[in-house]
Amino acid sequence: MKYDHDIPYKIYLKESEMPTAWYNVRADMKQKPAPLRNPATGAPCTFEDLRPVFCDELIRQELDNDDRLIPIPDEIRQFYRMYRPSPLVRAYCLEEQLGTPAKIYYKFEGNNTSGSHKLNSAIAQAYYAKQQGLKGVTTETGAGQWGTALSMACSYFGLDCKVFMVKCSYEQKPFRREVMRTYGASVTPSPSETTQVGRKILAAHPGTTGSLGCAISEAVETAVSTPGCRYVLGSVLSQVLLHQSIIGQETKAALDQYGIKPDIIIGCAGGGSNLGGLISPFMGEKLRGEADYRFIAVEPASCPSLTRGVFAYDFCDTGHVCPLAKMYTLGSEFIPSANHAGGLRYHGMSSILSELYHQGLMEARAVEQTRVFEAAEQFARVEGILPAPESSHAIRVAIDEALRCKETGEAKTIVFGLTGTGYFDLVAYQKFNDGQMTDHIPTDEELQASFALLPKVPGQK
Ligand SMILES: *Cc1c(COP(=O)(O)O)cnc(C)c1O
């Protein structure tokens, strides 16, 4: 084993080295991400437009394109200390198994009960809701990681938490539902009869097993119609990327301590928050012309928003109650095939990442789920951690890049985000182990039909 005695297996920052501010990559972007727009008027959203839906301080963060560093309040840092700093691990065993000259590192965000990076933003959003004197928040959850993280954060600050959980996940993932309930959240399968938009969707599509876009609409409707309640979202929004910048800042600080400069940084991309957070400080250096890196976003071939979507204003939700966002999108009616097991199923992508990708500052790759689970299995067997299917998209491409290094003989340094653990995804692992996992790639015709439903926005073809 080629253990390098100068670099530990795990690089842990000291608690005192944990970042004291989030880094806002928008401050260093010359071309800023396009603003959210009001779906009724097409005008850019103002603070007042967003107030009925979101918490005040989070709106300020959402609209802030200029402040480079945003201090992390002490109460949030206090909570972060329970599970952060998270380790940056050198994948020595994986390197050896691959026989690659590449050096592979992963930043592991699965070391908390919610099992993913989502807690980093959940605790921040719950804190600001509490600060504002609100009673509670609503949200949607697909596979359940976000709902779990938010339940933990709300119970810590004594807030009510109402989660609309996509119906098929509610039925297929009862254990995650029970974690949420243990933390005091109420969990409703979506679409439900409890909202107007839910009843409308049920009438139009009887027997539907739901979608993220539909659960978002229900959560927003409930937030705006309940006094002292706001809606919070676990990805896609710029405020969430901001909170997740703690991942990248810790990664950079750990690498800097050992004088390591990555060549390639890889992350899985659903709504883009973990990837955006991981790459932010490195992208900042690239934008300021101080350093160069390759960034690779990895998405499922069954939900390929960056690689096959269009860059356009679109609805964020099926019920069309949210602001419009300019992003790479598959259309708000797009729902990945039912055999897709690997998460990352949102139809759009963070407008920050969409803009960076559009400018050619980031690459994207779509991978099929059977190859993703092959990578997950290979990683689990040598590195010990059972990865979440979402995270395994990043593992897949990290392995592919390391194998390319083997061909060319280049000893590149690869860093990837290991966003979480897969203990609640064992039905998907079971399918894979039984040889019953299949791949589905949407046809161009399916995508065109979905693009035809994009909203008409002034100034857009
Ligand atoms: C939610 C989730 C993702 C994808 O969300 P992003 O906002 O794209 O980061 C990735 N990995 C895990 C484990 C998740 O729970």
How do the domains of the chain map onto residue ranges? Answer: 10-20+76-115+238-451, 25-70+118-231
Q: Is 422 in the pocket of ligand 1 (CB under 6 A)?
A: no
Q: Hey, whose CA ends up nearest to atom 9 of ligand 1? A: 274
The confidence score (pLDDT) of residue 169 equals: 87
115 CA: nearest ligand 1 atom: 13
Q: Hey, whose CA ends up nearest to atom 4 of ligand 1? A: 270
Cα 66 to ligand 1 centre (Å): 26
276 CA: nearest ligand 1 atom: 9
Class of domain 25-70+118-231: alpha beta
The confidence score (pLDDT) of residue 460 equals: 66
Instruction: For ligand 1, pick from 86, 106, 109, 116 the residue to mutate: most ligand atoms within 8 Å of CB.
Output: 116
To the question of domain 10-20+76-115+238-451 being in CATH 3.40.47.10, the answer is no
Q: Hey, whose CA ends up nearest to atom 2 of ligand 1? A: 390
Q: Is 198 in the pocket of ligand 1 (CB under 6 A)?
A: no
461 CB-near residues (< 8 Å, 6+ apart): none
Q: Is 393 in the pocket of ligand 1 (CB under 6 A)?
A: no
Q: Is 235 in the pocket of ligand 1 (CB under 6 A)?
A: yes
Instruction: For ligand 1, pick from 390, 395, 416, 421 the residue to mutate: most ligand atoms within 8 Å of CB.
Output: 390
Per-residue pLDDT 10s for the chain (461 aa) are 667 778 888 999 999 999 999 999 999 999 999 999 998 889 999 999 999 999 999 999 999 999 999 999 999 999 999 999 999 999 999 999 999 999 999 999 999 999 999 999 999 999 999 999 999 999 999 889 999 999 999 999 999 999 999 998 898 888 999 999 999 999 999 999 999 999 999 999 998 888 888 899 999 999 999 999 999 999 999 999 999 999 999 999 999 999 999 999 999 999 999 999 999 999 999 999 999 999 999 999 999 999 999 999 999 988 888 899 999 999 998 988 888 887 898 999 999 999 999 999 999 999 999 999 999 999 999 999 999 999 999 999 999 999 999 999 999 999 999 999 999 999 999 999 999 999 999 999 999 999 999 998 866 65
Token output for 379: 């990683």
Shared fold status for 10-20+76-115+238-451 and 25-70+118-231: yes
The confidence score (pLDDT) of residue 209 equals: 86
Token output for 254: 């750990």
The confidence score (pLDDT) of residue 117 equals: 98
Q: Is 272 in the pocket of ligand 1 (CB under 6 A)?
A: yes
Cα 409 to ligand 1 centre (Å): 32
Neighbouring C-beta atoms of residue 395, cutoff 10 Å: 30
Q: Is 141 in the pocket of ligand 1 (CB under 6 A)?
A: no
Phi, psi of 344 (to 5 degrees): 55, 50
